[in-house]
A and B are shown apart, each in its own frame.
Chain A
Amino acid sequence: MKLIKKGAEADIYQTTWQNSNAILKIRKTKNYRNSSLDSKIRKQRTIKESQIISQVKSFGIPAPLVYFVNLKNTSIVMQEIPGKPVHDLSESKIIQLSKSIGKLVGMLHKNGIMHGDLTTSNFIFFKNNVYVIDFGLSQNTIKPEDHAVDLRLIKEILNSAHAKIMIPSWKNFLLGYKSIVGNANYVKITKLVSDIESRGRYAQVV
């Protein structure tokens, strides 16, 4: 097995599963964390992630297939998506793909799922398709507030990591999102995004 990435909460290895390439995602113990808190977090997230990946595939979100879940060492074996994270693509490509990302997020929300970690590294571009990965912080929720938290996060990421192309990307994202959730939901949720932003520290209050 080859270590391909040390992510924030898990180590990612390249491996095989019944003769096809696969990814092993293992959430290892974090020594700095209190042990009971640590095992609770690792277990919960492993279960949630594997459940929700399977769930989103059922309504057509491109995501890896889950092959095997091992709760003893909190690991998941899943299909490898051998593409590139959207984060690493050219600026013009990111602007263009923002619309597809918006559509994908709209589909998740429409089906009552918040992703919880919408960054440009969690979308993978492969064979002209955008795949969604990393459902560790996902939740089944139809609360508009939760959906707004999702939108705020991707907005924050565009505004920081992709500051130069923030305006066109965010515009495209919203176009895609609106086309799926419909105008009424779109208005409600973007209003909540502004509400969350205005609660932020030292936000400009009008």
Chain B
Amino acid sequence: MLGLGIESTAHTFSCAVIEKKGKKGKILSDVRKIYRPADGEGIHPREASRHHIENSSLVLSECLDEANIKVNDLDIVSYAGGPGLGPCLRVGAVVARSLASFYKIPIYPVNHALGHIELGKLLTGATNPLVLLVSGGHTMLLAFLNKQWRVFGETLDITLGQLLDQFGRSIGFASPCGKNIEELATTSSNYVTLPYSVKGNDVSFSGLLSATKSVAKKSKVDACYSLQETAFAMIAEAVERALSFTRKKELMIVGGVAANKRLSEMLKDVCKRHGAKFFVVPLKYAGDCGSQICWTGLLESQIKKGVPLKDTFVTQSWRLDTVKVNY
């Protein structure tokens, strides 16, 4: 079975083709174009959607070429229905609807966050993990129970990705800033005390952001180092609490911030202490990509014959814990 997935929730416009055989999936192509705001600035939704419109045909045709297939070969098409930026979401949905209605292909809206998890499970082989989803849009601890992903902990304000990006931009980096902060952090080992806010399994980052900005006025390297140490220790503690509460024996980390080496190193240590297996989604598929949407669409297609065009919505606020998973 061949599926096409279209991702356009934020800065990435991506199309991917996956071939599904039984429980196995093979990624035939995954093409991306990423909108880059100017240094020190964040995503402008209108500019990002314009970028996606301009690149959509190119990305789509490259993706089909690379997979060596034609549109007619596709069995399903899926797109990210949310959560994300409205103008950006609409671009992906329009491309998906056009293909679905012209070529009569079943169409599936997919929850972007669920996509991160399902692709992570496909690529890492985790079976029943506690999931840490860390990205620009999410910071959540999840476990699967009664056909739904349940939230065992999350951020009460901004996400880990936002924390890193907003701080990074304030010292002049271009978004996404995680990599720059990580590089600068390795050059310091001078820890400056910053607010550490863990509330049960939940975390809060907004106070940490303001405090780090003021440390950066004295030393950018110390600020980067102390920010990573504090924020990641908070995440690691929340993970420990959730592991010990849910008694899961696997931890899987997905989302853009999964690429951070310091964070993985800390979580590896946490898993060792709790006798849990540690899985990280491969670097190439940590960030937003068409594959995550495509694979989830293919899983959905096992139990559903697509949705009518009139129900092909986009929703900016679509929480993962409201999605029923029946496959």
Interface residue ranges, A against B (CB under 8 Å): 6-9, 30-34, 36-37, 40-41, 87, 116-119, 121, 137, 149, 152-153, 156-157, 159-161, 163-164, 196, 199-205
Contacts and interface: CB of A to CB of B under 8 A. Distances in A.
Contact of A33 (B202, B233, B246): B233
A156 B151 contact: yes
Interface residues of B, number: 48
Contact of B199 (A116, A157, A160): A116
A199 B157 contact: yes
Contacts of B39: none
Interface string B305-318: 00000000000111
B29 to A, nearest CB: 30
13 contacts: A8-B245, A31-B269, A32-B265, A117-B200, A119-B245, A137-B199, A153-B199, A157-B245, A159-B150, A161-B150, A163-B145, A202-B83, A202-B319
A202 B154 contact: no
B249 interface: no
8 cross-chain pairs, A with B, having the tightest CB-CB distances, nearest first: A160-B150, A32-B269, A8-B241, A32-B266, A153-B200, A8-B240, A202-B317, A34-B229
Central interface residue in A34, A149, A156, A202, by most chain B CB within 10 Å: A202
Given A32-B265, A117-B200, A203-B317, A37 B152 contact: no
A33 B244 contact: no
A6 B244 contact: yes
Interface in B217-265: 229-230, 233, 236-237, 240-241, 243-246, 265
B24 interface: no
Nearest to A146: B199
B181 interface: no
A153 B150 contact: no
Given A116-B200, A149-B199, A200 B156 contact: yes
B146 interface: yes
Contacts of B316: 202
A13 to B, nearest CB: 16
Central interface residue in B138, B159, B201, by most chain A CB within 10 Å: B201
A165 to B, nearest CB: 11
B317 A205 contact: yes
A152 B154 CA distance: 12
B202 A153 contact: yes
A196 B157 CA distance: 9
A3 to B, nearest CB: 12
Given A7-B244, A8-B243, A34-B229, A156 B199 contact: no
B122 to A, nearest CB: 24
A108 to B, nearest CB: 14
Contacts of B269: 30-32
Interface stretch (B53-61, B190-198, B288-296): B190-198
B316 to A, nearest CB: 8
Contacts of A36: 191, 193
Central interface residue in A8, A33, A161, by most chain B CB within 10 Å: A8
Contacts of B230: 37
B150 A8 contact: no
B21 interface: no
B191 A32 contact: no
A204 B199 contact: no
B143 interface: yes
B201 A202 contact: no
Contacts of A30: 236, 269
B196 A156 contact: no
Contacts of B244: 6-8
B201 A156 contact: yes
A91 to B, nearest CB: 12
A137 B191 CA distance: 23
Contact of A121 (B82, B191, B245, B265): B245
B270 interface: yes
Contacts of A196: 156
Contacts of A119: 200-201, 245
A91 B264 CA distance: 37
Contacts of B237: 8-9
B270 A32 contact: yes
